[in-house]
Chains A and B, each alone.
Chain A
Amino acid sequence: MDVVDQLGAVREGKLSRRKFTQGLLAAGVAMTTLPVSARRAAASGDEATFFTWGGYDIPELFKPYEAKNGALPNFSIFGGSEEALTKMRGGFVVDVSHPCNQALPRWVASGLFQPIDVTRLSNWSDVMPELVDLPGNAADGGNVWMAPFDWGQTSVTYRTDMFELEGEESWDMLWDKRYANRLGSLASGADAWWCGAIKAGVDFADIATDEAFEKIAAVMREQRPLIRTYTDDTTTLEQALSSGEMVAAMTWNSSATLLKSEGVPVKFAAPKEGALTWVCGVVIHKDAPNLDRAYDVIDSLLSVESGKFMINDYGYGHSNIKSFDEFDAATLQDLGLSKNPFEILEAGHFQQPQSQDWETRMNETFEQIKAGF
């Protein structure tokens, strides 16, 4: 419409004030839509979005991707896999995400993901079959839902100079009353509750029983007054351990490895009851907007380059068998790893998938315990 026409109409009283304000509003809407939609087309650059744990959003893991596509993928970070699944169920669309074996069947059941066509992955032939063969992972036609990527343990990282060991390394360290208020824990039940089960002596096969619930809840309640803080981010735990604010904390492999590289005297314990072990991997969203790039993300993560970084800098296991050829046996042992992952995974307690109801009940109970009830 012609602006002059409009002004004339206002003068002659043909265009009411209301129409005029509506025009004003339309102009406002136009102003909003214009820049944002222009940006959508330009800046997103059609790179894949990787929805992952904090710490995986780094260029070191995407060198092959960058070489092929000239840019890094976009990242979006979550602090726990339940949080991630909830957000995606709420309509958040990504290309690739990063669940662990224990959550896999529930992720698949949500219907939000598509099977991975393994023939499109150049590194697939080097992926260790033991890690692929997980409960609920097989899809039709020899395809899989999740391509395994990293594996590791949840255990106790402690200050060797401040924590006085009594006997063997054990989960009791995180229940040690001598260090009340100087112990830390991961906030997510997906780690803490399972570690509680190990401490309480509950077999993972029985973890869904009422009896197990009570036993685990009891040990978590016992631990709660000793804990300085529960946190979703490993940074808080790492900083607290490095400053001596905490003397021991529940962490994954990477925290101990990172702290050691900073010169902090810590050790990643091998508890006599066994550590909690897990395998994580990558899945593709069913509505992935950049499917080709999604496969590039996965292939990049499975590459030997990424594997070398994962083992050396984070102390995690990798799914590509060739990654381990870069290291000698002594180095691997020092990191608590081995070329035969199942040796490690089976020596610890391997997480088992549970139902959605169990997850909700467990999280509800654990949150109440953390809040002091």
Chain B
Amino acid sequence: MSDHGTYIKRPNRPLQIYAVIFLIVLYVPVLFIPLFSFNESIYVRFPLEGFTFRWYRELWTREPVWNALFNSIKVGACVAVISTILGVIAARAITRYRMPGKSALVTFIMMPLVIPGIIFGVALLVLLSRMGIPLTLYTVGLGHLIVCLPFAVATLLPRFEGFDPSMEEASADLGENGWWTFWRVTFPMVFPGVVASLLLTFTISFDEFIMAFFLTGTDPTLPMYIWGQLRFPQEFPSVLALSSLILFVSFILVFFAQWVGRMGLDEQNQEAL
């Protein structure tokens, strides 16, 4: 970093203070969730009424909460895998082959990024109901797939763009078969993109509410369940407890990943970003 000139090295005090305040404001609303998960009252309001682990204990017996969580994980995992596979296919084709109307195609795939979710939600609802298809987790998954695909393609495209096809050819020339070429050459090159795409699409699907609202049948996803609990709280503190656990686990995972990949990654990121 020594090539950064003199002025950048100077610390900027006001900006530093701003950054700290920014982070605090960013975190305060989110930290209310774990805070209230230890509160004794079923209603989320001040003043706090006493410390308890009750909601965490009860969480184990709250079947609907777990069902909703597993529904979300299932939909999220399937959507992540399919959208990433489709994303790989699309990104490969876009970067590899010359074809007419390529930019129009890319624009078409990116369309869901610039259309409010509610419009997709109602459009799909109308289509499904005209076709007489009942609303299930599959319909939610279909909706999420459409929202997630542009993100998958957008994350994967840069990886494929920087990918030199001659590497694959070289591998083929050396007598490797197609599968080996993919596994040994292509895959490692695009692997970070694939992981990023899987993570991103899973996260999006996991928290997607607007389309799920129109497309959910009897099995609620977690956001749909939370929506119900916000309005008619029978098990709301359990939802808070579960969300706190999710938050806690993601913190641990992220920092663990960060810690593991410290040495190599840090330098790489400095250059890549």
Contact = CB atoms under 8 A, between A and B. Distances in A.
Interface string A329-343: 000000000000000
B138 A25 contact: no
B10 to A, nearest CB: 50
A28 B85 contact: yes
B179 interface: yes
Centre residue among B64, B134, B178 by max chain A CB count within 10 A: B178
Contacts of B141: 32
Contacts of B43: 239, 242
B125 A74 contact: no
Given A10-B177, A29-B82, A21 B231 contact: no
Nearest to B131: A91
Contacts of B78: 31-32, 35-36
B232 interface: yes
A39 interface: yes
Interface string B115-133: 0000000000100110011
Contacts of A54: 228, 231-232
Interface residues on A, range: 35 or more
A235 B233 contact: yes
A43 interface: yes
A28 to B, nearest CB: 5
A235 B231 contact: yes
A31 B128 CA distance: 23
A59 B20 CA distance: 47
Given A28-B81, A31-B81, A90 B231 contact: no
A25 B85 CA distance: 7
A239 B89 CA distance: 52
Given A28-B85, A232-B231, A11 B177 contact: yes
Contacts of B226: none
A7 interface: yes
B85 A24 contact: yes
B217 A92 contact: yes
Interface string B143-185: 0000000000000000000000000000000000111000000
Given A24-B85, A235-B233, A91 B179 contact: no
Interface in A32-55: 32, 35-36, 39, 43, 49, 54-55
Contacts of B110: none
Contacts of A93: 134, 217
Nearest to B128: A91
A36 B81 contact: no
Contacts of A92: 134-135, 217-218
Given A55-B232, A74-B218, A91 B138 contact: no
B132 A94 contact: no
Contacts of B179: 7, 10-11
Given A28-B85, A91-B133, A91-B135, A77 B228 contact: yes
A243 interface: yes
A316 to B, nearest CB: 15
Contacts of A243: 45
Centre residue among B82, B138, B230, B231 by max chain A CB count within 10 A: B231
B67 A32 contact: no
B196 interface: no
A20 interface: yes
A20 B178 contact: yes
Contacts of A74: 218
B73 to A, nearest CB: 10
Given A39-B74, A55-B232, A91 B81 contact: no
Contacts of B128: 90-91
Contacts of A17: 178
Contacts of B81: 28, 31-32
Given A7-B179, A11-B178, A24-B85, A94 B218 contact: yes
B218 A7 contact: no
Contacts of A28: 81-82, 85-86
A232 to B, nearest CB: 7
Interface string B72-110: 001000100110011001000000000000000000000
B234 interface: yes
B242 interface: no
B211 interface: no
B137 interface: yes
B71 to A, nearest CB: 9
Given A76-B218, A90-B129, A57 B134 contact: no
7 shortest A-B CB distances, which residue pairs? A54-B232, A233-B231, A11-B177, A10-B178, A32-B78, A90-B129, A28-B85
26 contacts: A7-B177, A7-B179, A11-B177, A11-B179, A21-B89, A24-B85, A25-B89, A28-B86, A31-B81, A32-B81, A35-B78, A36-B74, A39-B74, A43-B67, A54-B231, A55-B232, A57-B234, A75-B64, A76-B220, A79-B231, A90-B128, A90-B129, A91-B132, A92-B218, A93-B134, A234-B232
